[in-house]
A and B are shown apart, each in its own frame.
Chain A
């Protein structure tokens, strides 16, 4: 009996998570799909038209390039920060943690206009590089948070042993540390990529209209409310993001 309630609960939960995705894709693969039609007349016209535009393809590539750059930079910066935070205690940790929380709670509008205004003052705006820099603001908190959690539990005596035995710092990192924190690193990487991937306002303002990512196309489509355009752009935007999650999945499901 308990087994069944568990299964039913899981099925319900899964359908709440999956159903909207199905509706989204079906919307993109149809036109004028209204109540009470439970199943639409499927057509790939929308996908062909929007997906075939060079602008769409460019937007996908731009988003991916920026996403990867942001992820790499974030991890490189977050790694030593997390190691220090994990071992520290006291008010400094609290302050840093508070600063990390700010981008998550500050409404997008306030954060984006504030960051843009600052970057404009320094003259760092208007290209993909500035967008990458701006994206670091919301992604670094995620990177640091996840990696700190990993390093809190991390026992680095094994690393000490390896150094004592003559391994170089790089060898220690690659052969000792990395396997132990790999899943944490993968999670941090995926989260950072997704956060960067899903930015709209920050990219628009800092990129000064010159940098167009697929998420910006999705955002404008959502404002327009056309289920076909929304479905198509959202599906296209989801594909690389899903690939990122799947790629990291192998690290995620690793267990002892």
Chain B
């Protein structure tokens, strides 16, 4: 008897929940109240006044102790002392956890969300943008946005998706390879995908790459680089053209399938993320790993992830570079504080600090040093850029090989195609 009434109660809750989710589902963003706690980013004095006393909950990838400590010790005190803002850094195993938090709040109709700022780019940015859960119209209005080169398509497009003032840059990254100078001499390094194939087959089992897929964009980037080289250039891929992909896809899969038997584990399996590839490299199972840091292998050496004889290098061309950003969810509770933090990240002093391989985390600048008018700031940025450490790739090589990413639609085509054509299976 009692059990039956319990079941009835449980069914009632279930029905309520299901009904609840239906009604939220049919409503659009207005029902969520996209701009209830809206803040006008162009009225900076008002922003500062409102931010004073707030806490900013910054959700970011928490896997790097160096980045975590840098954020806590560099931005935290400045925010507290100069702006009266408390920084609460929330570490997540993957940015998608923050995305899921926001989406869960959206489906529950929550208007004052837990997430104020997210370190984000690529697919996660696209997820939130498509779900209409981003606070907009601020990224080009904050004071330091003048230091950002918004004309640069690498800045105003994120994995090919227009930024549309929904996110502001933090740092920049460029795809590079890393080798161990104790094992491979600089003269023997491959400088193109074609040379990589030769190297791999001359040294069977010593080369591999990260499996392309959602959350493993470094793998997709590697494959895209091959696509750019095979098709003769990266610029043609900036806008989406299905016919172009159809034209070159066959060659791309051919190249990768020919490469396959020469790879580590006969190309039957691939590392799923950077840490796994770093471990294979550090333990001597493969000869190369990758990095995206301006300081090359410096940050990895400082973290003890690779031997200290590691050094970064690039191919002659097709090394994709891009920016990573911070964004503010539409239902953030502390938007003013988030804006202040986003602006602080672009300060020349902050930028110069984060490129340092030892004290910072070694990623490149999010701002354009040429736009900095303050002499002291400029000097900091220049000396920062000059002291990237010995494990960094030559800045000229980096600049020569730099290309922009392709249109966003190619991401899925490459990832799905790779899975179907190279490894098979679901």
Decide whether A and B are members of one complex: yes
Q: Are B105 and A209 within 8 A (Cβ)?
A: no
A182 CB, nearest partner CB in chain B, Å: 27
Q: Please tell me which one of the listed residues B92, B105, B307 contacts residue A32 in the complex, with CB atoms under 8 A apart.
A: B307
Q: Enumerate chain B residues within 8 angstroms of A223, measured Cβ to Cβ.
A: 61-63, 93-94, 275
Question: Is B21 in contact with chain A by the CB < 8 A criterion?
Answer: yes
A109 to B115, CA, bound (A): 18
A204 to B57, CA, bound (A): 12
Question: Is A35 in contact with chain B by the CB < 8 A criterion?
Answer: yes
Question: Is B282 in contact with chain A by the CB < 8 A criterion?
Answer: yes
Contact flag A35-B101 (CB < 8 Å), given A224-B63, A224-B65, A225-B278: no
Interface residues of A in 174-217 (CB under 8 A from B): 200-201, 204-205, 208-210, 216-217
Q: Enumerate chain B residues within 8 angstroms of A126, measured Cβ to Cβ.
A: 114
A207 CB, nearest partner CB in chain B, Å: 9
Q: Please tell me which one of the listed residues B88, B93, B278 contacts residue A220 in the complex, with CB atoms under 8 A apart.
A: B93
Q: Are B104 and A34 within 8 A (Cβ)?
A: no
Interface residues of B in 84-112 (CB under 8 A from A): 88, 90-94, 97, 100-101, 103-105, 107-110
A109 to B279, CA, bound (A): 27
Residue of B nearest to A90 (CB): B3
Question: Is A18 in contact with chain B by the CB < 8 A criterion?
Answer: no
Q: Are B3 and A88 within 8 A (Cβ)?
A: yes
B352 CB, nearest partner CB in chain A, Å: 25
Q: Are A120 and B105 within 8 A (Cβ)?
A: yes
A152 to B316, CA, bound (A): 72
Q: Number of residue pairs across A and B with beta carbons under 8 Å?
A: 119
Q: How many residues of B contact A (CB 8 A)?
A: 49
Q: Are A228 and B105 within 8 A (Cβ)?
A: no
Convert B265-285 into 0s and 1s, putting 1 for each residue whose CB lies closer than 8 angstroms to a CB of A.
000000001111011001111
Question: Is B194 in contact with chain A by the CB < 8 A criterion?
Answer: no
Q: Are A120 and B3 within 8 A (Cβ)?
A: no
Q: Enumerate chain A residues within 8 angstroms of B21, measured Cβ to Cβ.
A: 117
Question: Is A96 in contact with chain B by the CB < 8 A criterion?
Answer: yes
A204 to B96, CA, bound (A): 12
A36 to B104, CA, bound (A): 46
Q: Are B17 and A118 within 8 A (Cβ)?
A: yes
Q: Are A225 and B307 within 8 A (Cβ)?
A: no
A117 to B108, CA, bound (A): 5
A99 to B13, CA, bound (A): 14
Q: Enumerate chain A residues within 8 angstroms of B9, measured Cβ to Cβ.
A: none
Q: Enumerate chain B residues within 8 angstroms of A209, measured Cβ to Cβ.
A: 57, 59, 88, 90, 101, 114-115
Question: Is A69 in contact with chain B by the CB < 8 A criterion?
Answer: no
Q: Enumerate chain B residues within 8 angstroms of A92, measured Cβ to Cβ.
A: 3-4, 7
Which of A36, A84, A217, A219: most chain B CB closer than 10 A? Answer: A219
Q: Are B275 and A224 within 8 A (Cβ)?
A: yes
Residue of B nearest to A228 (CB): B304
Question: Is A121 in contact with chain B by the CB < 8 A criterion?
Answer: yes
Question: Is A229 in contact with chain B by the CB < 8 A criterion?
Answer: yes
Question: Is B78 in contact with chain A by the CB < 8 A criterion?
Answer: no
Q: Please tell me which one of the listed residues A31, A117, A120, A222 contacts residue B93 in the complex, with CB atoms under 8 A apart.
A: A222
Q: Are B304 and A117 within 8 A (Cβ)?
A: no
Q: How many residues of A contact B (CB 8 A)?
A: 41
Q: Are A220 and B63 within 8 A (Cβ)?
A: yes
B39 CB, nearest partner CB in chain A, Å: 20
Question: Is B254 in contact with chain A by the CB < 8 A criterion?
Answer: no
Q: Please tell me which one of the listed residues B88, B100, B103, B284 contacts residue A210 in the complex, with CB atoms under 8 A apart.
A: B88
Contact flag A225-B7 (CB < 8 Å), given A113-B103, A117-B107, A120-B108: no
Q: Enumerate chain A residues within 8 angstroms of B57, measured Cβ to Cβ.
A: 208-210
Question: Is B303 in contact with chain A by the CB < 8 A criterion?
Answer: yes
Q: Enumerate chain B residues within 8 angstroms of A88, measured Cβ to Cβ.
A: 3
Contact flag A200-B104 (CB < 8 Å), given A126-B114, A223-B61: no
Q: Are A35 and B283 within 8 A (Cβ)?
A: yes
Residue of A nearest to B62 (CB): A220
A110 to B65, CA, bound (A): 28
A221 to B66, CA, bound (A): 11
A32 to B302, CA, bound (A): 10
Q: Are B283 and A201 within 8 A (Cβ)?
A: no
Q: Please tell me which one of the listed residues B63, B100, B110, B274 contacts residue A221 in the complex, with CB atoms under 8 A apart.
A: B63
Q: Are A220 and B91 within 8 A (Cβ)?
A: yes
Residue of B nearest to A112 (CB): B100
Convert B22-64 into 0s and 1s, putting 1 for each residue whose CB lies closer than 8 angstroms to a CB of A.
0000000000000000000000000000000000010101111
6 A-B pairs closest in CB distance: A225-B275, A224-B63, A208-B114, A220-B62, A120-B108, A209-B90
- Beyond the given pairs A223-B61, A225-B273, 14 more chain A to chain B contacts, judged by CB atoms under 8 angstroms and listed by A's residue number, are A35-B283, A92-B3, A121-B20, A125-B114, A208-B57, A209-B59, A209-B115, A217-B62, A222-B93, A223-B93, A224-B63, A226-B63, A226-B275, A226-B303
